[in-house]
Chains A and B, each alone.
Chain A
Amino acid sequence: MIAQQIINAVSLGGVYALLALGLAIVFSIVGLINFAHGELMTLSGYALLAALVFGLPFPLAVLVAVSCGALAAVAMERIAFRPMRGASVTSLLLTSFAVSSLLKVVFQNGISARPQAVAMPGWMTGAFSFGDFTIGVGPSISIVVSALALIALEVFLRRSVTGTAMRAAAEDFNVVRLMGIPASRIIATAFLLSGLLAGLAAMLWVAQRASVDPLMGFTPVLKAFIAAVVGGLGSLPGAVAGGFLLGIIEVLLQATLPAAIAPYRDAIVLSGVIAVLLLRPQGLIPAVRVQRS
C-alpha cells in the first residue's frame, strides 16, 4: 500500500515536473508565462485519440501525438508570439490567454465538449506484484518516461551548442545574439522543447484516465505553474524540484488526510506554497539572471 502510494506520488510529480519544465524553458528565454501550455497538452491528447481511431499501432500513435504537441508549440510561437516580440510582458500574457481560449473553443465546438474515451492498450492498466507489493504498470511507465525525458533534456542543454546557447540566453539573450546565434532559432527551440514535454505529459495523463476533454490541460498546467513558481520561476532545476514536491505532497495528503479534512487538500497545499514563497520569494532554486542597467 505504501509502495503503491509512493509510486503514485512520484508518477504524478513527474508529470508536473515535465509541464513545469516546459513553462520554465519558455519563461527563461522569452519572459512569457505561456498560459496556452495546457492546450498543447489537450491537443496532444486529441492527436492520440485521432491516431488510434485511424488505426495506427499504439507506439506510432504516441509518436504522432507527441510530435503534434511539439509542432503546435512551434506554430503557436510563429503565429501568435513572434509578431509580439519586444512587446510588454502584459501583452504577451494576454496573447497567451487569447490563444488558450481560442483553442478551447475550437476543441469544444470542433470536437465535443464531452470527454472522449481513448482506447488505451490493456496492459497499461495492469499491475505486477512482488510478494506483497502490487505496482501499477501505468504509474511505473510514467516514472520511467519522466526520468528519461529529464535526462535527455539535461544532456541536450549541456552538450549541444543550441542547448548551451539556450542556457546562456536565459542569462543574457542579447549577448548570445552578439555571438551570431540567431534569436529565432533559440526561441523556436524553446517552444519545441516545451511542446515535446507537454506532449509527453499528455500521454502520461491520458494513460491514467483513458479519456480526453477540451479542458484536460487546465488543472495539470495550473499545478505545473504553481510548481514552477515554488521552484523559482525560470529556473529549470527549480521547476523539476517544484513539480515533484507538489505531486508528492498532493498524493501523500490524499492518502493520509482523514475524510473530514480531505476536501481541504488543495487549500492546504496552496497554503504551503504561500509559506514557501514568504520564506523564499525567489523560489527553492532561484534562476540565474544577470542584472542589467
Chain B
Amino acid sequence: MLSVEALKIRYGEVEAVRRVDLTVDSGEIIALVGANGAGKSSTLGAIAGLVPAASGKVVFDGAAITGMAPEAIARKGVALVPEGRRIFASLTVADNLRLGGAVHQSAAEAKLREEEMLELFPILRRYHRVKGGNLSGGEQQMLAIARALMSKPRMILLDEPSLGLAPQLIDTVFDLIAELRRKGLTILLVEQNVALALEIADRAVVLANGEVVLSGTARELASSDLVRQAYLGA
C-alpha cells in the first residue's frame, strides 16, 4: 500500500535520514522504532508531505506522492497524528473533530463520522464543548487520533502516541490501536517504547542514525540480540 524507497532528508547541512526503505501492506501495523534522533519522525513527516525529501521516493497506492503538498496527501487517505499531539488548543473538541472531517465528505457524512468517533472515544463526548487545551495529555492524544480518523483515512501514521502518557493511559491508547487495526486500518507506528511497539506490530523496522539497521517480523526482532541489547534492556 505504501512504499518508501531510498528516502533521504536533509535539514541544511544535517542529514537526518540517510537512507530509509520500507513497505507497509494493506491491513498491517508496521512499527518504526529507534532511539531519539534516529530519523523516525522525519520519515513520517516526509511521507505526510510536511518535510521535503532530499531524494528518494514515497509511493502510495501505486502513485508517487513525493513532493506533494500535505493537504493533497491527506486527501489521498493518509492521516498523520503528529508528535506531541498538536491538537488545536483554543478550539473546542467539537471544532477539532469538525476540521478533521472537513474534506472529501458531505456535512451529513461528517456528522455520522463524528458520532462514530464519540462512540469510540466516550471521553470526547463528555468534553465535546471544552477547549482542546483544557484536556489532559491522554485525552488530547485520544482527540488527536479521533481528529485524524474523522477523514476516514485508509492509512494512519502515528508519531509517538505513548509519549508523556501515564502507564495505564498508554495501555488504553495501544488497545485502541489494536482495535483500529482489527477494523482494517493500515497503521505505521513510530514509537520509542520498543517493547510496546513490538507487542502490537506485525513487522518492524529499526532505524539508527538515519538508516535502517534491521527489519523483520515483530517476533523475529523481539528475539534478536541487537534489539534486546540496544532497546529492550535485556
| Complex-state Cα separation, A167 to B132, whole angstroms | 13
A175 to B86, CA, bound (A): 7
Report B-chain residues with C-beta under 8 Å of the C-beta of A288: 89-90
Task: Tell me the complex Cα distance, A182–B73, Å.
Answer: 11
Given A174-B70, A177-B74, A178-B82, A161 and B98 contact (CB-CB distance below 8 Å): yes
- CB closest residue in chain B, given A165: B99
Contact status A175-B79, CB under 8 Å: no
| Residues from chain A with Cβ under 8 Å of B50 in the complex | 174, 177-178
**Nearest-CB distance from A154 to chain B (Å)?**
14
Interface contact A178-B80, CB-CB below 8 Å: yes
Would you list which residues of chain B between 81 and 128 have a CB under 8 Å from chain A? 82, 86, 88-91, 95-96, 98-100, 102-104
| Docked-complex contact A179 and B102, CB < 8 angstroms | yes
Please name all residues of chain B whose beta carbon is closer than 8 Å to the beta carbon of A161 when the two chains form the complex: 98-99, 102
In Å, the complex CA distance between A172 and B102 comes to: 16
Residue on A nearest B151 in the bound complex, by CB:
A180
Contact indicator B74/A179 (Cβ below 8 Å): yes
The one of B88, B102, B103 that contacts A175, using a Cβ cutoff of 8 Å: B88
A83 CA to B151 CA, complexed, in Å:
30
Is A164 located at the chain interface by the 8 A CB criterion?
yes
Task: Give the residues in chain A near B69, CB-CB below 8 Å.
Answer: 177, 182-183
Q: Which residue of B lies closest to A186 (CB)?
A: B71
Whether B204 sits at the interface, judged by CB under 8 Å, is: no
CA distance A263 to B106 in the complex (A): 60
- Given known pairs A179-B151, A180-B75, the reply for A171 and B88 (CB within 8 Å) is yes
Contact A168:B71 (CB < 8 A) given known A175-B88, A179-B151, A180-B104: no
Which of A167, A174, A182, A183 contacts B90, CB < 8 Å? Answer: A167
Q: Which of B99, B100, B151 has the most CB of A within 10 A?
A: B99
Q: Please pick, from A164, A174, A183, A290, the residue contacting B99 in the complex, using a CB distance under 8 A.
A: A164
- The answer, yes or no, to whether A276 is at the interface (CB within 8 Å) is no
Interchain nearest-CB distance for A206 vs B (Å): 36
Q: Which residues of B contact A165 (CB under 8 A)?
A: 99, 102
Q: How large is the interface on B (under 10, 10 to 19, 20 to 34, 35 or more residues)?
A: 20 to 34
Whether B18 is near chain A, meaning CB under 8 Å from some CB there, is no
Known: A164-B95, A180-B104, A181-B71. A290 touches B151 (CB 8 A): no
Q: Which of A167, A174, A181 contacts B91, CB < 8 Å?
A: A167
B48 CB–A CB distance under 8 Å: yes
Instruction: Indicate whether B57 reaches chain A with its CB closer than 8 angstroms.
Output: no
Tell me which residues from 151 to 187 in chain A have a Cβ below 8 Å from any Cβ of chain B.
Answer: 161, 164-165, 167-168, 171-172, 174-183
Residues in A whose Cβ lies below 8 Å from that of B75:
180
B63 → A minimal CB distance (Å): 17
A residues near B70, Cβ cutoff 8 Å: 174, 177-178
Q: Is B100 a contact of A179 with CB atoms below 8 Å? A: yes
Look across to chain B and name the residue whose beta carbon is closest to the beta carbon of A293. B84
A181 and B103 form a contact (CB under 8 A)? yes
Q: Name the A residues within 8 Å of B151 (CB-CB).
A: 179-180
B147 within 8 A of A: yes
Q: Which A residue sits closest to B82, measured CB to CB?
A: A175
- Contacts A177-B70, A179-B99, A181-B99 given; 15 further ones with Cβ under 8 A? A161-B99, A164-B91, A164-B95, A164-B98, A168-B91, A168-B99, A174-B70, A177-B69, A178-B70, A178-B71, A179-B102, A179-B151, A180-B104, A180-B151, A181-B103
Pairs across A and B, CB under 8 Å, 26 listed: A161-B98, A165-B99, A168-B91, A168-B95, A168-B99, A171-B89, A171-B90, A174-B50, A174-B70, A176-B99, A177-B49, A177-B71, A178-B48, A178-B71, A178-B79, A178-B82, A178-B148, A179-B100, A179-B102, A179-B147, A180-B102, A180-B151, A181-B71, A181-B102, A182-B69, A290-B89
